[in-house]
Structure 1
């Protein structure tokens, strides 16, 4: 098995997927030209020019929200595309994201005099991809909301404590990675238990919001403008009576998700060992190559667990399809993932749902050979 580049601790290989919902579908034609100028400065790692571009866009008639979502958001989306196509290194991606974050800070200097209410915006626990949540927070501020922006990977207990202190009218939770759905479910349930409605967004919840509904969120929005429009339309529905997170997902009673999660390290270790036995060349990998292979296997197990949590094989097959595209861009055949799936299935022979999901993943990869 030949692997993708080593992921950073914030799940670098999946970062580019976040950009798909940064920009609004309602586009200002003038924004495209300014996005091109910002891209040029970001690609050159020129922060000062990037700030000048944004300032010029405002002076030439673009409103701050359009610049935020259709210029900065569009550029960040392109950053992800370029990384996925192997035309941008991890270091270059980090530099571009840092510049865009600085530009957002500059756009947020002015505040409207109106007051719409209080909203807390946060990423769910373990979710490092904070830029989509940041764009939403700044969009809401521009529209007159008082926003408590908590940033990345907010532990649920701390989120609830913040709500108690601030009395937010609503909580907006962001998650980009499907592997964060169990944490998102816990956060949704805990926030609702204190009487505060929850709106969720991000690719983790599906492009159609299917997992938002399944996990009991009070609302879902595909992108920042839609979320702001929904809040402006009126209060979110009050949460239903307190309940346990597991009550929403009766299939979890088979314990497959719990057992796969608890044994994930063993599954990765034994799969790596099996690959060494079946492919002797892997024994000659250096430490860095072995670490990358183990990290790739860990991602596969994590997405398998997430698919078990929501009982949806498409979550796993979509991940494998995306992974195959990344491998192909790096001149690695996507079918190199198949042996790992075989070894995982052998270890999970007593887990019918897991085996079914793995079989669907194998079929998906085979179809792309």
Structure 2
């Protein structure tokens, strides 16, 4: 049995995406957001503590990686784009590591302000497996270190001054909000106005408590859990009707829902809803999922993809993360993304033979 016309069209689209990704990409992208360090401690949890009902982790090794907006910046660099990142770190060891790790991968760090006396956010995940069993790791505990002091207003203003000064000749602007204070009302209002005045698309990865800052952005991203919460808030159970209501209320152009095993759906202001189903048989983890989606959408904008192609590429990017077995695969790379799109196209063709 051969492919249907719709499947042929999707197969052709996937091959076209691969061709475009293999081209020499270039262009500037302004990225503003919270920056943190991710730490992963791996080990075995074979026993419970004798004095409390908690697992004992026997550490085997640990890794560190940049997180949040820095994670996105590295993904953009891997795709061949120049991600100009603007954010803050503290004048501590973690902050120095973040800057060094980014510079090692040729990500420009001149837009990162170092704040004296501030604690750089570090998120440590303890990942454990049973030594006697052949199975993947599971998250045992997440341990956060972060300062609760407000970012000095002059530092915030300087970050946005720099970002606005870099808006000439950029493909898009990304706002990455992890609730650490870099994304704030006045700053977002300023950069949104400048981006709109220059017809520059804006991608927002918001906190649900910060949706008031997302008015008139072009692309807004939710995981399914956040979208479900918004549906309850507005009293609408139907996905399409809820999306239409939110798009109208906030003036968004596109609302992207990342639904894990249920794939990626893009609701649009002036276009039909587009869905790309997840093709993975097993989902392993979700760390870095939204960051990968942000990178994919930025690449789609830069490449001139339509909404349908954007859904396919974003879904493939999410599958790279959802299927990752090792922490070094939690970041999206160009090589992995091309391989995943090619695999989806191949599986579509083979399944219809």
**TM-score, normalised by the number of residues in structure 1:** 0.30
Q: Which has the larger helix fraction?
A: 1
Higher share in strand: 2
